[in-house]
Structure 1
Amino acid sequence: MKIAVLGGTGLIGSQVVTILREAGHEAVPLSLSTGVDLLTGQGLSEALTGAEVVVNLTNSPTFDEASPAFFQTTMDNLLAAAERAGVGHAVILSIVGVDQVPALDYYRAKVLQEDILKAGPVPYSIVRATQFFEFMDAVMSWTADENTVRLPSNALQPIAAADVAQAVADVSMGAPLQGTRNIAGPDVFPLDELGRITLAARGDQRTVVTDDSAGMFAAAPGDVLIATEGAVIAPTAYREWLGR
């Protein structure tokens, strides 16, 4: 089966391509570097010729008010090209709890992406994942200085990027869900405690200060970003991953 993977050279996409190829599929990574521009549509129709599945793992270059326009344009281009090419299954990666954080421009943009896919002409699947282990450094950097890292205490259930890639590959090899599959890591942490665990594992002497107004995730209070009932729980634990 030919599976086109937009964003196929990125953190998740490159791993998805590897998994699909090892399973015997013709996985084709598509990105600007391969001559495919999802924003303009350049090279897209040609790249989707003969594809049975398209996986869209591209992301907005910003998390601000410009992100909805990115997802509107790229999804319109993708679905039009996929319909012309006779693609039978479109898959996107989204975020667990994304529809419960309207205060964040980027989360509203991802909801828009989901809604465009649902209303489109191509059978679809949505994979919603919790926050990636690999993003923890960036999360801490938003509110850090030389001595402290300020983090809110709301709950996260982080997941390894490798487990996300496996889940996306599994869905793309199957029949369209016409719905959403939620995936999450095995453990729930208060974000401030997750910061302390991370710093300690790396020998970083900075202090984590609990500040429920600090950083982007302060806009997602309570447990809106953790797995809901029926979610697929991935095998890799955060402490295990840190120790590798």
Structure 2
Amino acid sequence: MRLQGAIEDANRAPFEPNYLQHHNVDGGVRPVVGFAATLFPRRGPLSLHAGMSLRPVRYHHTFATGHEAFPTKTYHLRTTAAQAVVSLRYHRRVGPVRVLAGFGTSLLDWWNIQAYARYDGVNQREAYGISLPVADGFLAEPFQQSAFRQVGYERPTLGFCEEVGATWQRYTLTLSYRHQLYSLYYEGTSVSSFSSSQRGGPVTHIGSTPQYGLRATAFYATLSYDLFRLGERPRTAKGGLNRAD
């Protein structure tokens, strides 16, 4: 989940840097567990597939602020990403395996969120006689233009996925790329500039805080085992014998 597009003023140095500019707040390899099912069995080359997966999201990083009064700032995020996917798959048999390609929609939600941004070792900070924020949640999402949600992606967010794979007997290996819709988020604790009520007058309030754009993207590699083979169902034949169609 890389943050980018923070507001910067090229004509003057900001009071604080945009700490999360181009920073990936969920990089690295993560374990994934889940289950999947075929909603409509294949009749021909197409099938409708649905899956649900869980993976951990972990981020903890400390930045140097460049200010002696509050020298470091720490961002922390710990949650579980739950993602549901529904995709339309095209199948084709190639020798002993069946290859597939699919496209679908995804829904991402965060469970049990623990997130904060704070200046380490200080209870208060100020500049120009104005009290500045010390700690809060980060990835704050604008809500009704007058308030901020504590953490982004705390409500289901729509996205898309593309996938390819191959099936051999009851095993399926799938590679997929998933991306959520682009959203804007505000950093509620960093101060980038100040403003005054009149030109050349004394500083009276905080002018702005950094704004970031965020799109969560992920590559998934999953190996699944089919509990029930497609097209198999018990049926009683003449003489009381069972067979599979």
TM-score, scaled to structure 2: 0.26
TM-score, scaled to structure 1: 0.26
